[in-house]
């Protein structure tokens, strides 16, 4: 018996990539799932930063899809300086916010191609659908991505294959093109029908917006960082903080990050070393981190803002503990006007 053809599938665990994997498994292809950790996934961030008090657990969908389809999943960490360069200096620019989708795809596909060669797979595939997303899933950008990632025709997009030129997998007869999809556009109706046909019931609702880089609020914060701190100085720790809480630019060299709930406060505690940390005493309130070099007056105003967000139980003048490493000061700040807060808000 001949050895089955092996393919690497980029698996997010969403409906499309799950269906694409199932479609190829039905053709006898041996599949190795692959998922990337970028540090920009909204779901992962929510898993990390929110409290445990939720009705439904937030799951790693790629792992869940692997378990559901009985296929192995490799997770590769691509967060780091090389990936950040994609964000700070994208060759093909940004979409509506600071989303460098084309450059991101090229980066991921290059890494996937490398992994494909490492494990001896013959081709790779994604759950991409032609015309589904405005920046990276149109025909012309897809061609650019395939060319720049040096895929040499080895990337199959099973859901839209009949609308695209044949790939190596089809030309060599590893997969039957006639049994692949001809899906195009944003509707998920055909995918849902296929899910029913394949017996796939438990999949996340198709929502999109799973990447912080497409989020307008996050985009504003990134651009603020580029302007005041310099994009060449961006690190993954900065990215982690940009994703969380409320953000205020008090002065060009003083920025405030404030937790909005218990889970975010706990998350921020991990980043307290090397920063001022402010918390209301005696009443529950936000954890506030201060980046930069605040003066005494700055700290007093930031303490006032911390009281403001502590809610109705905190009266003006509620004491605020300000800590920096081993130093602690207690301030009883005056209230900060809403107009000032709004002026600072990023």
Partner 1 sequence: MIQPVLTLDTYGLLCPVPIMKTAAAIKEISAGEVLEVLADDPQILEDMPAWCASNGHALLDTIEEDEEFRLYVRRVK
Task: Kindly list the residues in this chain that would bind partner 1 in the complex (CB under 8 A).
Answer: 33, 37, 44, 47-48, 52, 57-60, 63-67, 69-77
Q: Please state the closest distance from residue 147 (CB atom) to partner 1, in A.
A: 30
Task: Give me the DSSP letters along 282-301.
Answer: SS----EEEEE---HHHHHH
> Cα–chain-centroid distance for residue 76?
14
With b for 16 or more beta-carbon neighbours within 10 A and e for fewer, the 29-62 pattern comes to bebbbbbbebbbbbbbbeebbbeeeeeeeeebbb
Q: Please state the closest distance from residue 74 (CB atom) to partner 1, in A.
A: 7
β strands within 141-181, DSSP E: 155-156
Give 269 or 332: the residue with its C-beta nearer to partner 1: 269
Residue 207 tokens read as 């929502």
Q: At how many degrees (to 10) do helices 15-25 and 189-198 cross?
A: 50
Give 69 or 130: the residue with its C-beta nearer to partner 1: 69
Distance CA 338, CA 344 (A): 10
Q: Please state the closest distance from residue 156 (CB atom) to partner 1, in A.
A: 21
Distance CA 292, CA 289 (A): 10
Q: Please state the closest distance from residue 264 (CB atom) to partner 1, in A.
A: 13
Give 37 or 228: the residue with its C-beta nearer to partner 1: 37
Give 154 or 240: the residue with its C-beta nearer to partner 1: 240
DSSP 214: G
Q: Please state the closest distance from residue 57 (CB atom) to partner 1, in A.
A: 5
Q: At a CB cut-off of 8 Å and minimum separation 6, what does 171 contact?
A: 153
Give 63 or 283: the residue with its C-beta nearer to partner 1: 63
Give 68 or 190: the residue with its C-beta nearer to partner 1: 68
Q: Please state the closest distance from residue 237 (CB atom) to partner 1, in A.
A: 13
DSSP 133: S
């Amino acid at each position: 018996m001949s050895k089955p053809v092996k393919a690497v599938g980029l698996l997010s665990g969403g409906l499309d990539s799950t269906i694409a994997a199932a479609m190829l498994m039905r053709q006898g292809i041996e599949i190795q799932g692959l998922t990337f950790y970028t540090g920009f996934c909204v779901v992962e961030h929510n898993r990390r930063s929110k409290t445990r008090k939720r009705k439904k657990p937030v799951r790693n969908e790629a792992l869940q899809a692997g378990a559901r389809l009985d296929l192995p999943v490799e997770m590769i960490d691509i967060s780091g300086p090389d990936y950040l360069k994609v964000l700070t200096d994208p060759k093909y620019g940004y979409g509506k916010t600071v989303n460098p989708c084309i450059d991101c795809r090229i980066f991921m596909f290059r890494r996937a191609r490398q992994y494909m060669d490492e494990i001896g797979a013959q081709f790779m595939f994604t759950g991409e659908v032609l015309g589904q997303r405005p920046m990276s899933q149109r025909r012309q950008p897809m061609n650019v991505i395939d060319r720049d990632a040096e895929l040499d025709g080895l990337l199959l997009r099973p859901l839209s294959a009949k609308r695209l030129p044949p790939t190596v997998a089809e030309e060599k007869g590893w997969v039957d093109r006639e049994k692949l999809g001809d899906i195009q556009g944003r509707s998920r109706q055909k995918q849902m029908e296929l899910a029913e046909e394949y017996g796939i019931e438990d999949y996340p609702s198709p929502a999109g917006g799973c990447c912080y880089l497409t989020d307008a609020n996050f985009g504003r914060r990134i651009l603020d960082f580029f302007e005041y701190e310099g994009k060449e100085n961006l690190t993954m720790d900065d990215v982690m903080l940009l994703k969380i809480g409320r953000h205020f630019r008090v002065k060009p060299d003083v920025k405030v990050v404030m937790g909005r709930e218990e889970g975010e406060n706990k998350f921020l505690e991990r980043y307290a070393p090397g920063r001022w940390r402010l918390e209301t005493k005696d009443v529950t309130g936000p954890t506030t981190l201060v980046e930069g070099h605040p003066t005494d007056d700055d700290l007093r105003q930031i303490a006032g803002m911390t009281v403001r967000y502590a809610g109705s139980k905190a009266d003006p003048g509620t004491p605020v503990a300000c800590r920096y490493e081993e130093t602690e000061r207690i301030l009883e700040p005056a209230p900060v006007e809403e107009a000032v807060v709004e002026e600072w808000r990023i």
